[in-house]
Amino acid sequence: MIASVLVANRGEIARRVFRTCRDLGIATVAVHSDADATAPHVREADAAVRLPGDAPADTYLRGDLIVKAALAAGADAVHPGYGFLSENAEFARAVIAAGLTWIGPAPEAIEAMGSKTRAKRLMAEAGVPVLEAGPDDLPLLVKAAAGGGGRGMRVVREAADLEQELAAARAEALSAFGDGEVFLEPYVEDGRHIEVQVLADTHGTVWTLGERDCSVQRRHQKVIEETPAPGITGELRRTLHEAAEAAARAIGYVGAGTVEFLVSADGRPYFLEMNTRLQVEHPVTECVFGVDLVALQLDVAEGGRIPAAPPAPSGHAVEARLYAEDPGRDWQPQTGVLHRFQVPRAPGLRVDAGFGDGDRIGVHYDAMLAKVVAHAPTRPQALRLLARALERARVHGLVTNRDLLVRVLRDSDFAAGRLSTAFLDRLGPAPAVDEDGVRLAALAAALADASGRHPLGGWRNVPSAPQSKTYRAEPGGTEYQVRYRLGRNGLVAEGHPDVRLPAHGPDRVVLEVAGVRRAFDVAVYGDEVCVDGPLGAHRFTALPRFPDPETQLAPGSLLAPMPGTVVRVADVAVGDKVAAGQPLLWLEAMKMEHRVAAPADGVLTALHAEVGRQVDVGAVLAVVQEEESP
């Protein structure tokens, strides 16, 4: 029997496995890089072992160090989670050779499916349709052979770009998975990404636990997943399930795994890959089938026998991945302190989080904060429950994709099940900012600040002098000046002639506008002010009345959007003319490259970047002096 499990991973998936282990009375062991020394998964484990360094290649990709950590901590089993070494056959062999229980499929099965190129050949031999790329099949998709998660993937639309994109994909794949092998397949423009969950034991039983639609993606990484897949025919469902079971049986698969398919616009399925591990999106399957896949993994690893058939499904579940990233700025990942993270509790809601209040999100790893899951009797109910939960969540300190997720969940095409991997490209730009809502939030922030400076809790009975406070909305940068006066006749606020102030305090302000009363919760973290209310969530920086001249930047300064490393610099020099959108340099952060481009036509007057240089967020990278119009 397994008594102690080391999870060879970090963040949300490590915490997820630990939760089941605690429920089963199994001790837990964490491993951590230096950057993760105080991370939640480390704090929650019964024991933790340091992996010196920060980069994945020095820590979570070092199988030898992880095996030593398991032995040193007295673990008798290793769970790989997802990503990192979870699909590395040599790591599985090393775990088994050390006398530890491997909670996953046999190394031979990992090897058979671990390389997408070998897996496609195997499936083609078994009669499963696969995508094959020819020289004239533009657009093409470059994919990493050894991993997923959108890393090492590039779309090539012009033949002239192929070599450059191959090189970039190889470098990214090598950094993320320790293997730079890539391959090509035709890029299906309007297909759906549908996958089937499988679970198999050592006694010949194979389950298929429904299918998940994972079509809503950005940068080839899933954002929203759900089960059952909406709008597919019974015939297609049977085809997918039968092909997934055949794939598992073809390699003698044992444990939890996922067979992924691309379904073309005309309904034809093609095998993409088999992930020989637990998937990020496994919670939706657990909700609908009423199972604990991690507990089943542990049972199978101990030689247990699963029932002949899986439980019957019930209802619909949808999962949204909450990322610390800015969709309006090319999905730039965000770093910093997550001051507060709270999702309201409700029946049918589940939150699998990697971080909590006060945790720091760094530059070294994936930017996913949490997965929020809703389970309800019907799809419309699940979508509504999840959208409302995200709207009401308190997420303070970082820009996230929360608003985008809510837009998708409430989009009419999404509600109708009109899905494809190009869904986000078709979604269009974000709606215009509700200026009245932002100004009311800024007014609430100013009134909460004033209330906090009046310890007796009351306003004077004589009219007060006019008050002024300036806030900068984040991340947009628009400044809002709030002017108001308080006295015996109540609140007089510039720009809000019909506003009343029924209640106030340093943490909560109630405003009545045109007879409608709304409450605004206000939280202050230094100069950062977060306002949550029925009109949305807003984040401001409180600006000083008299700015420090030394903090003023030269016009046209390009600032580092995140901490990172300069990995490439364009062939430009100070004095060159540059065009708007022209790439000047590339930063690597959170295992992805981020382009820094000229904001406008002009002259490059400064370039503070060289390959290998480490930069902090806000560092001046270059200055482009905009050309004056004739």
Query: Cα separation of 253 and 389, whole Å?
Result: 38
Instruction: Supply 530's token pair.
Output: 């977060």
Query: Cα separation of 347 and 149, whole Å?
Result: 30
Distances (CA, A) of 614 to 109, 173, 204, 361, 551: 40, 21, 53, 17, 22
> 512 has which bridge partners?
500, 517
Nearest Cα to 445, choosing from 529, 543, 537? 529
> 566 has which bridge partners?
587
Distances (CA, A) of 106 to 14, 197, 293, 500: 21, 18, 18, 68
Query: H or E element: which one contains 270?
Result: strand 269-275
Instruction: Centre a 10 Å sphere on the Cβ of residue 460 and count the other Cβ atoms it contains.
Output: 11
3-state helix, strand, coil in the chain (%, to 5): 25, 35, 40
Contacts made by residues 93-100, CB under 8 angstroms, sequence distance 24+: 94/63, 94/64, 94/67, 95/63, 95/67, 95/70, 98/67, 98/70, 98/71, 100/67, 100/70, 100/71, 100/75, 100/76
Selected catalytic residue, list 15, 154, 277, 402: 277
Return the exposure string of 611-629: e unless at least 16 CB atoms fall within 10 Å of the residue's CB, then b: eebebeeebebbbbeeeee
Query: Cα separation of 152 and 292, whole Å?
Result: 31
Q: Which residue has the tokens 């397994």?
A: 2
DSSP string, 461-528: SSPPPPEEEEEEEETT--EEEEEEEEETTEEEETTBTTEEEEEE-SSEEEEEETTEEEEEEEEEETTE
Q: What is the 3-state secondary structure (H, E, C) of 366-422?
A: CCEEEEEEEEECCHHHHHHHHHHHHHHCEEECCCCCHHHHHHHHCCHHHHCCCCCCC
Are the beta carbons of 199 and 256 closer than 8 angstroms? Answer: yes
620-626 and 557-559 beta bridge pairing: antiparallel
Are the beta carbons of 386 and 49 closer than 8 angstroms? Answer: no
Residues 6+ apart with CB under 8 A from 19: none
277 given a catalytic annotation? yes
Q: Which residue has the tokens 């993760």?
A: 36
Are the beta carbons of 349 and 373 closer than 8 angstroms? Answer: yes
Instruction: Supply 613's token pair.
Output: 């240089």
Instruction: Centre a 10 Å sphere on the Cβ of residue 113 and count the other Cβ atoms it contains.
Output: 26
Known catalytic residues?
277
